[in-house]
Amino acid sequence: MVRPATGEIVAMANLPTFDPNNLGASTPDARRNRIISDIAEPGSTFKIVVVSAALNENISKLTDLIDCEHGNFQYAGYTLHDAHEDKYNILSVEEVVAKSSNVGAAKIGIKLGPEKLEEYVRRFGFGEPTGIILPAKFAALFVPCPLEQDSITRIPMGHEVAATPLQMCLAMSAIANRGVLMRPRLVDHLEDAEGKVIARYPPQVARRVVSETAAQQMVAALKTVVSTNGSGLNAQLDFYTAAGKTGTAQKSVGGKYVSGNSFRHSSGSFPLTIRSFAFQWHLMSRA
């Protein structure tokens, strides 16, 4: 849980966890901070990257209509399917986000082009260390151009890329923070024994990722996800406004997807005010 305006990490939790007073009773697996060291395909939560990029480049508007091919899109010799039972025909860009159409996101990616897509993936902080002052094993992966022919249809839906939960949370934070990506912040200041402040660690801007206008449009689209028209209705809050995105991705072992092993993500921000929080929830299944 991150405060988008400052990058402050308000809360971070892992399960399974361990008792630091009894390290011997825990396994190395349980002692790992998965939020900063484990990577997974972000699935549809990653659609915020391609859609906000298209909005920022003014190549798409939320009201633009996209033919979602009834959920079956042939491209580069492969067929891309929509994940849900509903087979969508014509959707607006906003509805592509709300309904989480893979085909719609792929077509936005094709319109954006591989170079711009890669540029925005990197702008959002994927493929680079977050800068958190904790030891982390992975900087997260991103395959540079030239991409495989069908990658332009897969990356927009969060496949063929990998990210840590913290990276995904910071990306969502950038949207909630008017388009500005912040460095994660763990410590505000240090005091000596007398309580005198001896060091301060102010918020650090990583970079502007998209314009304020594009970020506001993305927030508007993400609000529809958490509505009766959206795929994330189960995340709707009773007493607060929220914007978010859910995602699902299969686990990859040895370069191949393993059936039954999946990651489920939800990423969002609430309440929608300047004092909002961004939130990332990441669940791995061995079912």
Partner 1 sequence: MKKGHFGATVAAPVFKRIAERSANYLAIPSQVVRNQTLAITNHSALD
Active site residues: 44
Separation of alpha carbons 227 and 60, rounded Å: 22
Residue 11 within binding range of partner 1, rule CB under 8 A: yes
Among residues 79, 149, 204, 285, the one that binds partner 1 under rule CB under 8 A: 285
Separation of alpha carbons 58 and 40, rounded Å: 30
Quickly list DSSP for 186-250: --SEEE-TTS-EEEE----EEEE-S-HHHHHHHHHHHHHHTSTTSTTGGG--SSS--EEEEEEEE
Three-class secondary structure of residue 164 per DSSP: coil
For the bound state, the minimum distance from the C-beta of residue 35 to partner 1, rounded and expressed in Å, comes to 14
For the bound state, the minimum distance from the C-beta of residue 226 to partner 1, rounded and expressed in Å, comes to 8
Tokens of 52: 């906000």
For the bound state, the minimum distance from the C-beta of residue 286 to partner 1, rounded and expressed in Å, comes to 12
For the bound state, the minimum distance from the C-beta of residue 159 to partner 1, rounded and expressed in Å, comes to 13
Span near partner 1 by CB under 8 A; candidates 30-38, 184-192, 195-203, 266-274: 266-274
Which CB atom, from 101 or from 276, has the smaller least distance to partner 1?
276
Binding mask 25-64 vs partner 1 (x if CB under 8 A, - otherwise)? ------------------xxx-------------------
**Closest CA relative to residue 219, chosen from 266, 184, 168, 178:** 178
DSSP 148: P
Residue 192 within binding range of partner 1, rule CB under 8 A: no
Tokens of 206: 């990583």
Q: Binding residues for partner 1, per CB under 8 A?
A: 1, 11, 43-45, 83-85, 100, 176-178, 215-217, 219-220, 223, 231-244, 246-248, 250, 259, 262, 264-266, 268, 270-277, 279, 281-283, 285, 287
